Chains A and B, each alone.
Chain A
Amino acid sequence: MNVRGYAGGLALLSFLVLSVTGIILMFHYRPVEEYAYLDMKSLQFDVPFGMFLRNMHRWAAHGMVILVLVHMFRVFLSGNYKSPQGFNWAVGVVLLVLTFLMSGTGYVLPWDQPSFESVAIFVRPTLLPFYVFHCLVLPAVATGLMIVHVRKATESKEGFPLKAGLVLLILLMVCSILFDAPLEEATNLSVTRNPSKAPWYFLGLQEMQVYFDPWIASVVLPCLIIVGLILIPYLDVNKKEVGHDSIRERKFAVSVFCFGFFILWLLPILVGLFLRGPGWNLYMPWEEWDPGKVVAANPVDLNLFLSQRLGLDFLRNEVVGALLGLVIIGLYYSLGVVFYRWKGRRSATVRELGAVRYAVVAFLFLTMMALPIRMILRWTLHIKSVVTLPWIGLNI
């Protein structure tokens, strides 16, 4: 059996399973706050095969998210995103985002406590919009894009992995028999669980909220990730042969991607999923969660830190502090220019990229590397933010 190319096809199969089970579930669900949870209970205990269908839907949804991620990683490694598949890669990235959104909106529908809290972070919770997006808008758009994506991709590729598909279906059914989809207590507006965790695929972003403003962690970062991913085919000028054997020839591209994918994306998800407990404190899996746990953390802003270390009181001024931070960020990004000047002449790759593409690559790369730098600053020097702009309520 050849494992290559399975994930994409299996993700498609998961989507089909989700559509079928989802349509049947719609017959037993009313998207109204008063009834939604009760309908969940009747699915659990009343409707013939209700729990089985719900389990299938839930596990297939998790499966689809995982498969889509694997698929993207595999396509990147094999270099299949390169011309003429650049556009299809972009469609794929959009489908990835749609998968997250479909899964995320579905998370709200049971209207139990986690559902409610996952919404309450962003907006005043109402059920109907999530229902319409989950059941109609997002699947419709995703279906259209999938048709485009699959047609383009299969022009030159192997067919659908039937055997693996059957295995997937068997696994999904076994999981649905053995493990019930969680349903916690009915929504109570006046309480918040501790810890209140988002669905796992958003935990990376929630983990980033430890280090960044919510606005940056949940809006700016995702946007940059999406834009960066879409741009990859247009930035990668390496014309080396497509396929696994070319990894050695694309050291920079593969290592940067792997770093971003594993260290900056999956690792925080795992940390958020398994190591975070009440108060978003770190707990080892064998430690008992204690809501009363206190961890002394005394982070300070960079300008205050410097003024204390250097004995320069004028740095404490808000305006001076903000300017200082901006200057530091400017200096950080000018590293790209320095590198261009220093290496630009001798490196064939840099020459091939050209000034504009080089600038975009440098910006995205430095932005990505800023995350671990920022995290390390927080762990070692307890720097809360580099720039504080109280006038627009933003900390960077």
Chain B
Amino acid sequence: MMMTQDDRNPIEKKSSKGTWFVLGVLFFLVFLWAIYDAMFVRPSWKGYQRAFNQLELGKIQEEYEKAKRAFNAEDDRLDRLREPVADESEISLRRIRLKVEAAEVRLEGGEFRRLERKLRERRYRLADAGQQLEFTKGRLEEIYYKRKHASSSGEEVAGLKKEYSDLERKIAELEKEVATKEAEEAELQRQADDYYVEVKKWKDAERKRLEPLASLETRMKGIRSRRPEIRQRVIADLGDGGTVDRCESCHVAIDRVGFEDQKNPFKTHPFREQILVKHPIENFGCTTCHGGQGRATRIKGMPLGPGDFVHGFVPHWTDPLLRGDFIQSSCIKCHEDQRRFEKASVAMAGKRLFLDRGCSGCHILKGSETAPKVAPSLRKIANKVYPEWMVSWIKNPRGYLPHAKMPRFSFGIDEEGKVEKIVSYLIGSSEPDELPFGSDLEGNQEEGKRICETVGCLGCHTLGNQGGEFAPPLDRIASKTTANWIYNWVQDPKHFNSETQMPSLNLSSREAADLTAYLMQQGEGPQRDETLRERLKDPENEKKGFQLISQYGCYGCHEIKGFENAPGPCMELTAIGKKKVRDFDYGDTKVPRTWRNWVSGKLRDPRMYQTERTTARMPNFDLSWEQVHSLTVFLRGFKEEKVPQRLIP
């Protein structure tokens, strides 16, 4: 069966020898290539380890040369001293070696030779006696067994008994003999030792002198004998099915002091003291914080085509190395509650922003479900502000207040109408509230100004160019709130909003009236728009307003009647950090498809991915690029990873 055509064709057979040869050589070469590829090309970490060993060796070599120079200089100095010196450490190496030599010469002398021969002979005799003793003991055991056996089978035992006691006696004699010989041997040994003591003393002195150099030599020897090996950390309870991080196979010195100024991968962790020591690699691994493909050992991709397996920049690896500020997103996986956090300042800024702007009002994010609503309650809003103001405020909060926290919604088509409908619902649903202090105000502006400046309003509120920034500015308050409301509010803020942070100022009605009169001078009153007010009363508009509020999620930040238990209307962010690029909707944009681009684009301009068919509802928070960046970093950390309890301090 294994017969080729060639065997039957003599002409082809001739030429086939050449073909066979070429094929054979080719096969062999490819085979060698496969071995070379598997042993040297793919495990690229081997090369890095060898390079590191050379690097470390070089460092120690340098140290060694230095130590040797110092040693030689010191030794030369000692050598010039005159003998004798009190301390052995004051004797130069050359002199120590002479002493060793002299002591060793004594060992060569005839006296010591004779002693040694005698000792050897005594040792043999002692060994002979010891052997005889062992044999006799063996014989004793045998007789003991025979006697027992005989007595159990009822045979004659008297002879054996006698033999047994004879042997016992003999053993006692032998033991005595051995003891005597041992004593003799020990005595001779002591005599011989005296000769050695001198040698040992000077050899010890020599070793002691050379010790600083010897330890360096041992280290160099250790490095030279190193073979490349995979260095890995296996942490069973981290990640999916355990974390196996082999990063240290190349990043050899990541946890070692002394390589701070090297280049990667041989560098010491730049924050070894602050971070790595507190998060030991054996507990945390590397990829837990840095991402990347821990199991991978190939820095290069296939011979054809790019790819960086270990850092995870290859197709189908979903968790590539985190770079730049994004590494901070790993910190917040565990350090949730830390407010100030120097090493993760960007991520923490993102977190503060997230809480401050009330993102979790609309977006579910595990861990912040219970965050309080960030904006004032609207349950009694009708008593407080003019409808005209509400419309213009919702349309563009920053038109009234340049640093307003409230975002711009950009309702798109028929913005005016939509805003009016929302206002219609808000006013319609607002609870009627009898003003507790009535409305009999007839205040004195001058007096009001004095009160305003003395009672502490400007501690929190801005007015003119002075005052604090904790509370809303009062510059244009007359266009916003009614006089009645201010009059009542300043007397008892908690009456309208039990959550308010404004303290009661203990003002009398008189003072409140004066203050109100003063404040109503700040800005112009609203231009009453009767047709608007008429439209707001339309129940149809109110109904549509309800729908708009639930659609756009106003209740995420404000308390609104009718939306007490409404769920957040937006995408859950709990696993946003591991959302895949292909799962994002980029609309009609040409944004390069990356996680970071999508998220920061959305934060910067929430309407950018909107198309004719899709309506984006997220409002524009007018974030700066810096704020967008820190929020993006913060969100990157949400990967729904379980952190084992043992790692949480």
Contact = CB atoms under 8 A, between A and B. Distances in A.
B37 interface: yes
A160 B304 contact: no
A170 B23 contact: yes
Contact of B297 (A46, A161, A162, A178): A46
Contact of B317 (A34, A185, A291): A185
Nearest to B36: A177
A49 B315 CA distance: 22
Contact of A163 (B19, B30, B38): B19
B561 interface: no
Nearest to B3: A159
Contacts of A236: none
Contacts of A184: 315-316
Contacts of B39: 48
A2 B20 CA distance: 15
Contacts of A170: 23, 26-27, 30
Contact of A162 (B2, B295, B303, B317): B2
A161 B295 contact: no
Interface residues of A, number: 41
Given A163-B20, A177-B37, A291 B582 contact: yes
A176 B34 contact: yes
Interface size class on chain B is 35 or more
Contacts of A46: 230, 295, 297
Interface in B1-57: 1-5, 16, 19-20, 23-24, 26-27, 30-31, 33-34, 37-39, 42
B298 interface: yes
B16 to A, nearest CB: 7
B239 to A, nearest CB: 11
B302 interface: yes
Given A52-B37, A166-B27, A45 B303 contact: no
Nearest to A52: B38
B19 A45 contact: no
B211 to A, nearest CB: 42
Interface of B: 1-5, 16, 19-20, 23-24, 26-27, 30-31, 33-34, 37-39, 42, 230, 240-241, 246, 295-298, 302-304, 309, 315-318, 582
Given A48-B38, A52-B34, A173-B30, 11 more contacts: A45-B246, A45-B298, A46-B230, A52-B38, A113-B316, A150-B1, A158-B5, A159-B4, A167-B23, A174-B30, A194-B582
Given A177-B33, A177-B34, A185-B318, A162 B302 contact: no
A51 interface: yes
Given A49-B38, A179-B304, A2 B298 contact: no
Contacts of B315: 184
B318 A163 contact: no
Contacts of A113: 316
A154 interface: yes
A49 B33 CA distance: 12
Contacts of A35: 241
**9 closest pairs, A vs B, by CB?**
A159-B3, A184-B316, A45-B297, A185-B316, A166-B23, A173-B30, A49-B38, A41-B295, A177-B37
Contact of A45 (B2, B30, B33, B296): B296
Contacts of A258: none
A180 interface: yes
B296 A159 contact: no
6 contacts: A41-B295, A52-B34, A159-B3, A162-B4, A179-B302, A179-B304
Given A52-B34, A163-B23, A170-B27, A177 B2 contact: no
A291 B581 CA distance: 12
Nearest to A194: B582
A184 B68 CA distance: 57
A178 B302 contact: yes
A177 B582 contact: no
Contacts of B38: 48-49, 51-52
A244 to B, nearest CB: 16
A182 B297 CA distance: 17
Interface in A130-183: 150, 154, 158-163, 166-167, 169-170, 173-174, 176-180, 182-183
A178 B38 CA distance: 11
Contacts of B3: 159
Given A52-B34, A170-B26, A291-B582, A159 B5 contact: yes
A5 B230 CA distance: 48
Contacts of B33: 173, 177
A300 interface: no
A34 B241 CA distance: 7
A367 interface: no
A338 B240 CA distance: 67
Interface string A244-287: 00000000000000000000000000000000000000000000
